[in-house]
Amino acid sequence: MKVAWVFPGQGSQKIGMAKQIENLPNTKERFSFASEIFDRNLFEICQLNSDSTNPLKDLNNTINTQICLFLVESILLDALKENGYKPTFVAGHSLGEITALYCADVFPFEDCVSLIKVRSELMVNAGKGSMAALIGFDRNQLDLLVNQSDDVVIANDNSSSQVVLSGSSEALNKLSKEISCKRFLKLNVSGAFHSPFMHDPSVKFAEYLKQIEFKNPSFPVISNYKPSFCSDPNELKIRLENQMCNGVRWRETMDLMAKDSDLHIVEIGPSNVLSGLGKRHLKDVKISQVSSSDQITY
């Protein structure tokens, strides 16, 4: 049986998620290291209720969300490795792709922290466009409407029944009135992530990645930009460079993982977002969740 370790991105954060792993090896050390780099108490931020009046301490602020999720995911995956577990291949959703690359030993923990600081700051300062989640729709109608618009793209193709759109507020409002769907929910984000609206931040991020050494992965990585098995460090860097202004192709990622043989998906992180997508989209697939120090097994 193939074992896929998958790592979620923004939207999977939970208040108290650091408390769930505080007794694991490296938790205190890693949170302290990252807190110094980010100049804030990240463990405390994971414990606080959302506070939009003080974004520096708000877990839902992109700058805090991305690093806190990575810390939790990296600590959990390393605990699994120390217990003798390892995947056949890995994949991550948006931010989770960085965790997947770390899991595959492409770059060390310290590089990840610095990389996520740059990435999150670029994204939170993008300042253009918006995003909306779309649930229960006709795919053909959606593709037609998106193709007719210059200012809307599919940012996250999560499954056959759930996508996230990015674009201008005006174009998203227009599409919401034209599409037949169960739910159309505008998201509280600072920009149109995974779309051409992120071109300028993406260029700056690609420039930063030039100084990061990508090593040969310990096992294949499936990237958001191009969902195929990859073990070439240079290609993995190109794919990560292109991720910020292109869509997350998670539906294709799940199809690739499940192709040809039995599959066990293990979601490593504080929530069950990717597990839910897998259960709804795939048939006859085993799915497990690792989210706390009480559950370092599957």
pLDDT digits (tens, 9 = 90+) for 191-206: 899 999 999 999 999 9
User: Mean pLDDT across the stretch 235-251?
Assistant: 96
Q: What's the domain count of the chain?
A: 2
User: Mean pLDDT across the stretch 53-71?
Assistant: 87
- Per the DSSP assignment, residues forming a β-bridge with 192 are none
What's 201's domain CATH number?
A: 3.40.366.10
Residue 122 predicted with pLDDT over 70: yes
Q: Which of 165, 187, 209 is the last residue of a domain?
A: 187
Spot the catalytic one: 12, 35, 74, 94.
94
Pair (68, 41) in one structural domain:
yes
Pair (76, 207) in one structural domain:
yes
pLDDT tens-digit readout, 75-111? 999 999 999 999 999 999 999 999 999 999 999 999 9
Q: Are strands 221-222 and 286-290 parallel, antiparallel or unpaired?
A: unpaired
Q: How many Cβ atoms sit within 10 Å of the Cβ of residue 143?
A: 11
Pair (42, 115) in one structural domain:
yes
Q: Count of alpha carbons within 13 Å of 108, Cβ hemisphere only?
A: 2
Pair (282, 203) in one structural domain:
yes
- Averaged confidence pLDDT in the chain: 93
Spot the catalytic one: 35, 130, 194, 281.
194
Residue 53 predicted with pLDDT over 70: no
Pair (115, 260) in one structural domain:
yes
Domain that holds residue 243: 2-126+195-295
Q: Which of 152, 170, 187 is the last residue of a domain?
A: 187
User: Mean pLDDT across the stretch 291-297?
Assistant: 91
Pair (101, 210) in one structural domain:
yes
pLDDT at 3: 97
What's 142's domain CATH number?
A: 3.30.70.250
32 carries an active-site annotation: no
Pair (74, 12) in one structural domain:
yes
Pair (220, 251) in one structural domain:
yes
Pair (39, 162) in one structural domain:
no
Q: What is the DSSP string of the chain?
A: -EEEEEE--TT---TTTTGGGTTSTTHHHHHHHHHHHHTS-HHHHHHSPP-TT-GGG-TTSHHHHHHHHHHHHHHHHHHHHHTT---SEEEESTTHHHHHHHHTTSS-HHHHHHHHHHHHHHHHT----EEEEEEEE-HHHHHHHHHH-SSEEEEEEEETTEEEEEE-HHHHHHHHHH--EEEEEEE--SS--SSGGGHHHHHHHHHHHTTSPPPPPSS-EE-SSS-SEE--HHHHHHHHHHHTTS-B-HHHHHHHHHSSS-EEEEEESSS-HHHHHHHHH-SS-EEEEE-SGGG---
Kindly report the length of the chain: 298
pLDDT tens-digit readout, 30-39? 999 999 999 9
194 carries an active-site annotation: yes
Q: For residue 10, give both structure tokens.
A: 């923004």
Q: Are strands 162-167 and 181-187 parallel, antiparallel or unpaired?
A: unpaired
More confident of the two residues 166 and 284 = 166
Pair (118, 221) in one structural domain:
yes
pLDDT at 51: 59
More confident of the two residues 122 and 188 = 122
pLDDT band at 55 (very low <50, low <70, confident <90, very high): low
More confident of the two residues 48 and 225 = 225
Pair (137, 120) in one structural domain:
no
pLDDT at 50: 63
Q: How many Cβ atoms sit within 10 Å of the Cβ of residue 294?
A: 10
pLDDT above 90 covers a percentage of the chain that reads: 85
Q: Which residue has the tokens 């969300």?
A: 65
- Are the beta carbons of 71 and 18 closer than 8 angstroms? yes
pTM (global) more than 0.85: yes
- Torsion, Cα 273 279 281 282, to 10 degrees, reads 130
More confident of the two residues 60 and 233 = 233
pLDDT tens-digit readout, 212-239? 999 999 999 999 999 999 999 999 999 9
